[in-house]
């Protein structure tokens, strides 16, 4: 293992911003900035129930996950045409590249759009074309993960999977998101089993607000390879041992957890506890347009609030590449770049 060099506390935020990383937990609809909501509403001839960008932004005061989801689904209703999805993903990927994201695995919620009469192929083709053009322009690598909305039925998830069939080669995997409490993973066991047969990679949100039992359920009933959030695992010692032993990555989102009051103060966040227990945690932004920051903001704020060190920084970035669904050769190349970035940073001390 690489021996991580010492870096002063003052220079740590600079290192966090400069180090290469992967982002594995980002909802594309959660990158819809208020300015873009207004621009798309105008382009698509839609009226919004807010008079200004400022008024919309002031509605972003959340008390829990559901209070956020209500606002988030309303915001996504301005997305109608393939070009809207393209513009949204291009804007995110340009922003991510500036944060030294080398690889992004992007969630999208097709049911939010198909329920409004937008075709599955409109969504996927717009996002896919944006990923391809961003790669050509800035070299960033990106893949798409289709998320099923867990507050909807198993039948709706199966119908969504059917609609995605012809676009199978544009999707790397599937996930599970939306309202967690009252919608345990077991509800989607048969859908995930079918996705597994199709060769799709599997992830699920679990243990964001919900209990450790939902993380067990995601592992055993859905057979997921990563857990999105997973911060409630600390309440179950046997689960912590299993996650560490099996190197199941957790895609942790500190600013989201703070804004949705999972941790009322960012200083209370348990990221350090997860890392120090040997879990493969990563840092991600979830819905940055709503939670006050993209991935580098998540890194710098959680490090400042909880006193994480340069050793944790290296581990988090390394974990992000290792837990990605990219091929082995790409992972090794990115991990090499990570090591070099740390060495270069120290040389210029």
CB of 9 to ligand ADE, least distance (A): 30
Q: Which of 112, 256, 301, 319 binds ligand ADE (CB under 6 A)?
A: 256
Q: For residues 141 and 326, give the distance between their C-alpha atoms in angstroms, rounded to a whole number.
A: 9
Task: Return all residues near 323 (Cβ < 8 A) that are at least 6 apart.
Answer: 22, 24, 226, 249, 251, 280, 282
Of these partners, Zn ion, ligand ADE, none, which one is at the site of residue 31 (CB under 5 to 8 Å by kind)?
A: none
Of these partners, ligand ADE, Zn ion, none, which one is at the site of residue 321 (CB under 5 to 8 Å by kind)?
A: none
Answer whether 263's CB lies under 8 Å from 257's CB: yes
Would you give the binding string for ligand ADE spanning residues 301-340, x where CB under 6 A is met? ----------------------------------------
CB of 259 to ligand ADE, least distance (A): 9
Q: Which of 95, 113, 205, 259 binds ligand ADE (CB under 6 A)?
A: 205
Active site residue 208: yes
Residues 170-189 that bind ligand ADE (CB under 6 A): 177-178
Between 20 and 254, name the residue whose CB sits nearer to ligand ADE: 254
Q: In what order do the strands lie in the sheet with 249-252?
A: 21-27, 101-108, 141-149, 173-177, 201-206, 226-229, 249-252, 281-283
Q: For residues 42 and 83, give the distance between their C-alpha atoms in angstroms, rounded to a whole number.
A: 14
Between 27 and 226, name the residue whose CB sits nearer to ligand ADE: 27
Paired sense of beta strands 249-252 and 281-283, if any: parallel
105 binding ligand ADE? (CB under 6 A): no
CB of 291 to ligand ADE, least distance (A): 9
284 binding ligand ADE? (CB under 6 A): no
Residues 38-97 that bind ligand ADE (CB under 6 A): 65, 72
Tokens 């600013």, residue located: 255
Active-site option among 82, 105, 180, 208: 208
33 binding Zn ion? (CB under 5 A): no
CB of 298 to ligand ADE, least distance (A): 13
- Answer yes or no: is 258 a known binding residue: no
Burial category of 6 from C-beta neighbours within 10 Å (exposed 0-12, middle 13-18, buried 19 and up): exposed
- Answer yes or no: is 287 a known binding residue: yes
Q: For residues 146 and 165, give the distance between their C-alpha atoms in angstroms, rounded to a whole number.
A: 12
- Answer yes or no: is 349 a known binding residue: no
CA torsion, ordered 22, 25, 29, 31, to nearest 10 deg: -50
Residues 285-304 that bind Zn ion (CB under 5 A): 286
Q: Which of 33, 84, 105, 286 binds ligand ADE (CB under 6 A)?
A: 286
Between 205 and 226, name the residue whose CB sits nearer to ligand ADE: 205
Q: Buried (b) or exposed (e) across 229-250, using 16+ Cβ within 10 A?
A: bbbbbbebeebbeebeeeebbb
Answer whether 223's CB lies under 8 Å from 26's CB: no
Of these partners, Zn ion, ligand ADE, none, which one is at the site of residue 65 (CB under 5 to 8 Å by kind)?
A: ligand ADE
Q: Do you know the residue count of the chain? A: 349
55 is written with which tokens? 């008024």
Chain positions contacting Zn ion, by CB under 5 A: 286
Binding residues for Zn(2+): 25, 27, 205, 286
Q: Catalog residues that contact ligand ADE under the rule CB under 6 A.
A: 27, 30, 65, 72, 177-178, 205, 208, 256, 286-287
Annotated binding site for substrate: 287
Catalytic residues: 208
């Amino acid at each position: 293992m690489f021996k991580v060099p010492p870096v002063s506390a003052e220079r740590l935020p600079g290192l966090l911003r400069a180090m290469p990383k992967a982002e594995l937990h980002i909802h594309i609809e959660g990158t819809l900035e208020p300015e873009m909501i207004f621009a798309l509403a105008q382009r698509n001839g839609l009226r919004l129930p807010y008079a200004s960008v400022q008024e919309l932004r002031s509605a972003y005061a959340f008390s829990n996950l559901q209070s956020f989801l209500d606002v988030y689904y309303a915001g996504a209703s301005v997305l109608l045409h393939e070009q809207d999805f393209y513009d949204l993903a291009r804007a995110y990927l340009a922003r991510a590249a500036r944060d030294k994201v080398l690889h992004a695995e992007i969630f999208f919620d097709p049911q939010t759009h198909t329920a409004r009469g937008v075709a599955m192929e409109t969504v996927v083709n717009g996002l896919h074309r944006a990923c391809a053009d961003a790669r050509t322009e800035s070299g960033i690598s990106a893949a798409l993960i289709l998320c099923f909305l867990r507050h909807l039925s198993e039948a709706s998830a199966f119908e969504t999977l059917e609609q995605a069939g012809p676009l199978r080669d544009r999707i790397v995997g599937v996930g599970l998101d939306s309202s967690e409490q009252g919608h345990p993973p077991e509800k989607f066991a048969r859908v995930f089993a079918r996705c597994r047969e199709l060769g799709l990679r599997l992830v699920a949100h679990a243990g964001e607000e919900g209990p450790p039992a939902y993380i067990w359920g995601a592992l055993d009933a859905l057979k997921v390879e990563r857990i999105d959030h997973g911060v409630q695992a600390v309440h179950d010692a046997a689960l912590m041992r299993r996650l560490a032993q099996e190197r199941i990555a957790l895609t942790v989102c500190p600013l989201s957890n703070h804004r949705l009051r999972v941790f009322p103060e960012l200083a209370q966040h348990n990221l350090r506890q997860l890392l120090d227990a040997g879990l493969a945690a990563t840092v991600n932004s979830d819905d940055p347009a709503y939670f006050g920051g993209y991935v580098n903001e998540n890194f710098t704020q959680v490090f400042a609030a909880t006193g994480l060190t340069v050793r944790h920084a290296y581990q988090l970035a390394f974990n992000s590449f290792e837990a990605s669904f990219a091929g082995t050769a790409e992972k090794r190349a990115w991990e090499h770049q990570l090591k070099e970035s740390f060495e270069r940073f120290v040389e210029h001390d």
